[in-house]
Structures are given as C-alpha cells and as structure tokens.
Amino acid sequence: MGGRSTRRDFLKRAALAACAPLPFRPALAQGSAGRVVVIGGGFAGATCARALKRLDPRLAVTLVEQSARFTACPFSNEVIAGLRDLRDQEFSYDELEASGIALVLLAATGVDPQARGVTLADGTRLSYDRLVVAPGIDIRWDGLPGYGEAAAEKMPHAWKAGAQTTLLGRQLEAMEDGGLVVISAPANPYRCPPGPYERASLIAHYLKAKKPRSKLILLDAKDAFSKQKLFQNAWTELYPGLIEWVSLSSGGKVTAVDPTALTLATDFQTYKPAIANVIPPQKAGHIAELAGVADRSGWCPINPVTFESALQANIHVIGDAAIAGAMPKSAFAANAEAKVCAAALVALLAGSTPAMPKLINACYSLVAPDYGISVAAVYQPANGQLVEVAGAGGVSPLDAPAATRAAEARIADGWFRTITAEAFG
Amino acid sequence: MLRHAIVGLAVLLSLAGPASAAAAEFPPGASSCSGCHPTSAAVQTPVARLVGRSAAEIVTALQAFRAGQIPATVMDRIAKGFSEAEIAAIAAWYAAQQD
C-alpha cells in the first residue's frame, strides 16, 4: 500500500530537516508553525494528528504507528459474541495521509527528550518541537503469575482488539453447551472500566441463545465497578442465573493462572473452566517508559490543561496511557483529550497561553444488542488534576423503560460511527 | 437570566471573527461535542449535528437539557456541567463553524 512511498516522503523530509540549520526555535519565522510528532494511531493519536492539521495547516505533523490498520476496541465485545464482524472494527490511515499528515509505519524505539528526537525501528531519527505520546496500553506480563505472552494464546485477554478478539470468539463458538466461561477482571486502573461487564453481558446473550446450559463466572479484583447497579439489574432481568459475579471481598481476585491446565486460582478456590478470558493488569504502552514519561505506577502523569508530561518537557501524553485524574481510560475520553491537547499545542507553538479546558466523557455499554446503558461526566482542571464538575454527570436511570435502553443502544452505535469518522475519516 | 445569555452571546459572536483565527480557541467543552455529534453530514447516527445550527437553537436546547425540561439520554447529565456563559460560548463557536 502507501507504506513505502510514505516512508520515502518521510525520509526526504527528514533529510531536508537535517540540512536545515538547527536554531533553538526552528522554522517558526519561515511560515512553518512547527513540527509535531505523534506516536500511536489510536483514538487519541489519530484524533490529535487530524485536529492539529485542521487547527493549523502549516504544522508539520507526523504520525508514527506500527500497524497500517487500526483495530478498534469499542464494540469488539459484539465481535466476540458473534454479533459483529471484526472488519467493522478496522480503520486505515488513508484520510490522515490525504490531509497532509506524514504517516510513518514503523515502531518508535526511543525518545530523547533533551535533543527532542524520536528514534525509529530502522534507526532513523525524527526531530520535533512537541511530541505527543499516545501508545494506549500494554499488558503487564509480569502482573499475574502464570500469565505470559504464550498463556494469552490459550487464555485470551482480548483487551487489544484484533487476533485476540477473534481467538476468544472462536473459543466461545467451539465450546459445548454446558461449558463454564470464566472472565477475570483486574483492579483499577485499566482500559475501559465497564468493558469486562459489557463482555460478560454479551457473552451471556450468546450463551442464552446458543448454549443455554452454560454458565459465566466473573472473578473480580474489585468490590465495585462502573454502572454496577445497571448491569446487575439487567443481568437479573435478561440472564437470570447465568452470570455469577465474585467480588474481591468474596474471594474474586485471581492470584495465578496455569495455561496448561487451564486453571485460575484465587485465595479460596481453583477454577477450571472451558474458556478462561483473563483481563490482566495493564500499564502505559512501552514507548512511554522509554520516553521517561511513565512514573512508577506504569502510567503517565500530566498537566491537566495541556496534557504535557509532568516528567518531561515538550512531551504530551493523551489517551489510555495518561493519568487523566477522574477521566476514565475510554475512547471517548481519548478523543476529547486529543482535541484539547491539539489546541494547547497550537497555542504553545505560537507562544501563547493555552486556555483552561473542559472535557466530556460519555461511555455506552451494551447489555444486549438492544439494551444500552451509559455513564457521562464533565471534567475540568483543579489543583493540578482533572476533576469531575460537581452536579453534572451520572449513569442512565435505574428505572428507565425498554424504549430508553433501546435508544441508548442506537446512540451507542451512532457514537461509534461518529468518533471513528472523526479519528480516521 | 435569558437576556444575560443573549447579551453574552452577542458579545461572543462579535468577538468570534473569521473561523480560521478562532478555530484554535475552542471555548471550554466545545471540542468534546464532536465525539457524539458528527461534524460530517455523511455519518449515520441518531444524534443531531451541531454544525449549521444557529447559536440560539443550541442555547435553547442546552438550557432545556440542563433544566430537565426535555427528554434526554446523556445530554441532561452533560449540560449540568456548564454555566450559562459557557453554554453561550459553545453555541456561538458552533454557529461560527462553516458547514
């Protein structure tokens, strides 16, 4: 595809940049508004690159991303449950390239915050005035005893959409009626707080229709979760006796897994299911560590106005990798953060002061294909953090009629089309 | 209260200037809306587009959502997070966007 010519263009551009003198503030006076490199082409990175180019077409924006196609996580639980094709989750970067963003299909292997340079897998270097780090999550392969990369081939996490999503879907399809499915959910923070519960719901929807003698146990490292009452009421209503949630205080925390025996151990019991979906502990994508923007928690502290790293100047972190205070690690939040960060970058590169932002998050979960529930909130910077605006936000009403649940499911579907159109075109 | 909002709106509209100059200066919250409200008319969704609407239309809707006067799914919960001045600024910004 366009990969090679893109790289050639990029190398040409890099060569030109190398020939130019390197003043403290390169090229600003010559009509170019500056160079921004974005690492990571997910909801955060792709949205940010496009917003930058839209806000100031003179900016030289480069997107560094390993994969030629992005596979979206939201709605991938529908793929697992056989309700949707994985191809509907895939997006190309063609529109980004068409808008003048330089696409580099390589891994970033290093960042030098002092010299303001990114090193790529082929050894080339890319200079920036401002860098945006948007790598999403990595699995903590040392976070759960027994759960390494090989284990994920037997006990899929399916927490990065793609081959893992397909694997879990196939396992479910192949399972005999009467089988036990176990999902293990991690402690906070992790990508998509309501995701494990939406997944349990949609797998239950599949089992109820296709394998009604089966059962699902959700082992949780928490005592409370997002939209909990809404989920639990819906489970009682739609899937009575099918889903069992085991909280942390009831012994739900999985302490080790054995991929060969296909068992999950808690302090009290060992489970041997037909399917084990292990959603493991997570951290910011590896490049965040290499750039020195992740702290000991594995995530990246930021300035809530500009999303600039609290640890490294001129590097901004958005999306799941960031510690965005009260904002969850959701695609909606990543997209909102990306646009605020882009506006802040344009202001900073022009030498002006970024405005105080407000941000919104709205997250939909499907309990069934025609049963949607949501959580929403508004955020603003306060005391160095993003905090919820008091008096706003909340979840769908507990007593809403079926028509409201159906409307929220339709809105969720529309939201996915809208946000992917904004991020990828 | 309503008159206050309209005056605020008029001031903001007069300050808005050409879209390109104002583009980078999203009023607080405005850039989040397009996560659900599509910028492009080609997107199929039950959620209304904001581009192409008048400021008055957007202000009226947001105030009604905030007051719980019209049926809502999430907009009642979101509108409560914005002051009248912020609502006016968001509406003015959207009204200034080219369709």
Instruction: Tell me if chain A has a CB within 8 Å of the CB of B97.
Output: no
pLDDT of A26 over the 90 cut = no
Q: From residue A190, how far is each of A322, A363, B24, B61 by CA, in Å?
A: 11, 15, 31, 35
Instruction: Tell me if chain A has a CB within 8 Å of the CB of B18.
Output: no
- Chain B residues touching A422 at Cβ < 8 A: 34-35, 38-39
Shortest CA distance to A249 belongs to which of A233, A268, A227, A231?
A268
Partner-chain contact B32 A358, CB within 8 Å: yes
Shortest CA distance to A256 belongs to which of A244, A243, A271?
A271
Token pair recorded at residue A68: 């030629």
Q: How confident is the model at residue A93 (pLDDT cuts 50, 70, 90)?
A: very high
| Spatial separation of the C-alpha atoms in residues A356 and A381, rounded to whole Å | 7
The pLDDT tens digits for A63-75 are 999 999 999 999 9
Calculate what percentage of chain A has a pLDDT beyond 70. 92
Weakest mean pLDDT among A25-29, A109-113, A268-272: A25-29
Chain B residue nearest residue A354, CA to CA:
B25
A299 vs B10, residue with greater confidence: A299
Q: How confident is the model at residue A4 (pLDDT cuts 50, 70, 90)?
A: very low
Instruction: Tell me if chain A has a CB within 8 Å of the CB of B19.
Output: no
The phi-psi region of residue A53 (left if phi > 0; otherwise alpha if psi is between -120 and 50; otherwise beta) is alpha
Contact A181, A62 (CB under 8 A): no
Calculate what percentage of chain A has a pLDDT beyond 90. 92
pLDDT of A348 over the 60 cut = yes
| Spatial separation of the C-alpha atoms in residues A109 and A121, rounded to whole Å | 6
Partner-chain contact B73 A394, CB within 8 Å: no
Contact A316, A309 (CB under 8 A): yes
Q: Mean pLDDT, to the nearest integer, of A402-420?
A: 98
pLDDT of B13 over the 80 cut = no
| Spatial separation of the C-alpha atoms in residues A38 and A134, rounded to whole Å | 7
User: Which of B23, B34, B35 has its CB closest to that of A55?
Assistant: B23
pLDDT of residue A57: 96
Instruction: Tell me if chain A has a CB within 8 Å of the CB of B47.
Output: yes
CA torsion B87-B93-B95-B96 (nearest 10°) is 160
User: Which of B40, B47, B78 has its CB closest to that of A360?
Assistant: B78
| Spatial separation of the C-alpha atoms in residues A198 and A179, rounded to whole Å | 20
Other beta carbons within 10 Å of A250: 14
pLDDT of residue B20: 40
Contact A373, A396 (CB under 8 A): yes
pLDDT of residue A22: 37
Amino acid at A241: G
Partner-chain contact B77 A392, CB within 8 Å: yes
pLDDT of A203 over the 90 cut = yes
Task: Name the strands in the sheet holding A35-39, side by side, starting at the edge strand that comes first in the sequence.
Answer: A102-104, A60-64, A35-39, A130-133, A315-317
Q: How confident is the model at residue A1 (pLDDT cuts 50, 70, 90)?
A: very low
Contact B79, B62 (CB under 8 A): yes
Shortest CA distance to A367 belongs to which of A62, A78, A64?
A78
Partner-chain contact B80 A360, CB within 8 Å: no
Q: Mean pLDDT, to the nearest integer, of A100-110?
A: 98
The phi-psi region of residue A336 (left if phi > 0; otherwise alpha if psi is between -120 and 50; otherwise beta) is alpha
| Spatial separation of the C-alpha atoms in residues A192 and A330, rounded to whole Å | 5
The SS3 call for residue A177 is coil
Chain A residue nearest residue B39, CA to CA:
A422
The pLDDT tens digits for B25-60 are 789 999 999 999 999 999 999 999 999 999 999 999
Partner-chain contact A335 B81, CB within 8 Å: no
| Spatial separation of the C-alpha atoms in residues A102 and B58, rounded to whole Å | 36
Token pair recorded at residue A412: 């969720």
Q: Mean pLDDT, to the nearest integer, of B65-77?
A: 95
Partner-chain contact A421 B42, CB within 8 Å: yes
Token pair recorded at residue A131: 């860098």
Contact B92, B13 (CB under 8 A): yes
Shortest CA distance to A93 belongs to which of A74, A64, A69?
A69
- The gap from C-alpha A399 to its chain's centroid, in whole angstroms, comes to 31
Instruction: Tell me if chain B has a CB within 8 Å of the CB of A387.
Output: no
Segment (H or E) for A228: helix A228-238
pLDDT of A372 over the 90 cut = yes
Partner-chain contact A380 B28, CB within 8 Å: yes
Percent of chain A as helix, strand, coil, to the nearest 5: 35, 25, 40
Q: How confident is the model at residue A20 (pLDDT cuts 50, 70, 90)?
A: very low
pLDDT of A148 over the 80 cut = yes
pLDDT of residue B59: 98
pLDDT of residue A9: 52
Q: Mean pLDDT, to the nearest integer, of A182-193?
A: 98
Distance from CA of B92 to the nearest CA of A (A): 16
ipTM comes to 0.89
Q: How confident is the model at residue A11 (pLDDT cuts 50, 70, 90)?
A: very low
pLDDT of B24 over the 60 cut = no
Q: How confident is the model at residue B3 (pLDDT cuts 50, 70, 90)?
A: very low
| Helix segments in chain B, DSSP class H | 2-16, 19-22, 55-66, 75-79, 84-96
- Find all residues with CB under 8 Å of A354, minimum gap 6, and list them: A305, A306, A343, A344, A347, A348
Q: Hey, CA dihedral for A289, A292, A296, A301, is it positive or negative?
A: negative
Shortest CA distance to B85 belongs to which of B53, B57, B54, B62?
B62
Judging by DSSP bridges, how do beta strands A102-104 and A60-64 pair with one another?
A: parallel
pLDDT of A25 over the 70 cut = no
Distance from CA of A356 to the nearest CA of B (A): 7
pLDDT of residue A32: 55
pTM across the whole model: 0.90
Q: Hey, CA dihedral for A259, A261, A264, A268, is it positive or negative?
A: negative
pLDDT of A24 over the 50 cut = no
pLDDT of B18 over the 80 cut = no
Disruptive mutation site among B45, B65, B66 for chain A (greatest number of A CBs within 10 Å): B45
Token pair recorded at residue B35: 């996560």
pLDDT of residue A33: 81
pLDDT of A137 over the 70 cut = yes
pLDDT of residue A49: 98
